[in-house]
Amino acid sequence: MSSPSAGGVPALGQPRDERFAGRHVLSVKQFDRADLERVFRVAHDMKVMVGLVGTTDLLKGKVLANLFYEPSTRTASSFIAAMERLGGSVIAINEVKFSSVSKGETLEDTVRVLESYADLVVLRHPEVGAAARAAAVARKPILNAGDGVGEHPTQALLDLFTIREELGRLDGVELALVGDLRHGRTVHSLARLARWFDIRLRLVSPSSLAMPAEVLDDLREGGVTFTEHRDLDEVLGSVDVLYVTRVQQERFADPADYQAVKGAYVITPAVLERFSPRGIVMHPLPRVDEIDPACDADPRAAYFRQIAMGMYVRMALLALVMGRA
């Protein structure tokens, strides 16, 4: 059976059964609450299935091209694991320097080549908007696995799924996003999804790493309750989730600017003493020194559990986009 051809991103309000099959996943802006709940339901089923039998043949015969122009451990390997657990196979291009990219091939041409072999393409790229550029020429679905400082939609889905699995709810949650909110694409995507739930955001960063104005505009437009803070202690006692991020060294033009802000917030066991006993600590990883490893044994440290959720959510998306969920 041939895979559905890609027909752009879905418009909000389009019929439910046309919102994933054959579609690109470029930005969290394409999802509404019903879409998110659908992804979470399928991801939960995937979690149960993996726990019971490990694999299925839902995507047997399907091929995923995993095209990564930037380093990745979790996103790249979880897409591979997700596809393989669904019975499909993967063309993995993790080191574009060993591909025709090093001969000067454009992103558009590389995507055209890979989609000739594959049924969908997962793309990570250092430039904002790269996934949309790829989608503009692609006949097969493109899944944005991070475009520079832009978005990381599949990470945001797994982050919300983690909160839902850990706390049993998304409505009523108070969520602190801590660290490099300027360059952290995961927090750009995650913050934008808050509009679909009753989630209050506390944005904690040094002023030089504050959430970009365009994300704040989207929050206001979506009616999200949010406040900005420099001092973590202003919110530590009230939040349910501490979502900690790395200061993104590779995005700084001047190393001195990085040195000035790195280590701005470090979560230690002493900090956690002032945090809710029923809260959770999350991190998209990799961590550098934002979370002291002495916190890892604390039951509230959810960042390693969060990783497994990534595979279930990516399995759900692959199945939905291939029209097989």
Site residues (vs ligand ASP, CB under 6 A): 146, 152, 185-186, 246, 248, 284
The SS3 call for residue 284 is coil
Residue 104 region, left (φ>0) first, then alpha (ψ -120 to 50), else beta?
Answer: left
Least separation in angstroms between residue 106's CB and ligand ASP is 23
- Closer residue to ligand ASP, CB minimum distance, 133 or 152: 152
What does DSSP assign to residue 20? S
Measure CA 190 to chain center. Answer: 8
Q: Which is nearer to ligand ASP, 291 or 322 (CB)?
A: 291
Nearer to ligand ASP, 133 or 246 (CB): 246
| Nearest C-alpha neighbor of 64 from the set 235, 318, 269, 258 | 318
Q: Which is nearer to ligand ASP, 226 or 303 (CB)?
A: 303
Least separation in angstroms between residue 123's CB and ligand ASP is 13
| Smallest distance, ligand ASP to C-beta of residue 102, A | 22
Q: Give whole-number Cα distances, 121 to 45, 76, 143, 285, in Å.
A: 24, 12, 6, 23
Which region, left, alpha or beta, applies to residue 63 given φ > 0 means left and ψ of -120 to 50 means alpha?
A: beta
Locate all alpha helices (DSSP H) within 143-287, ordered by sequence.
153-167, 185-193, 213-221, 233-236, 255-261, 269-272
Which of 231, 294, 313 lies closest to 38 in space, CA to CA?
313
H/E run at residue 287:
none
Provide the minimum distance between the beta carbon of 143 and ligand ASP in the complex, in angstroms, as a whole number.
14
Distance CA 73, CA 13 (A): 35
For residue 125, the minimal CB distance to ligand ASP (Å) is 11
Closest distance of CB 68 from ligand ASP, Å: 10
Q: Can you tell me the distance from the alpha carbon of 180 to that of 208, in angstroms, rounded to the nearest whole number?
A: 9
Judged by beta carbon, residue 59 or residue 82, the one nearer ligand ASP is 82
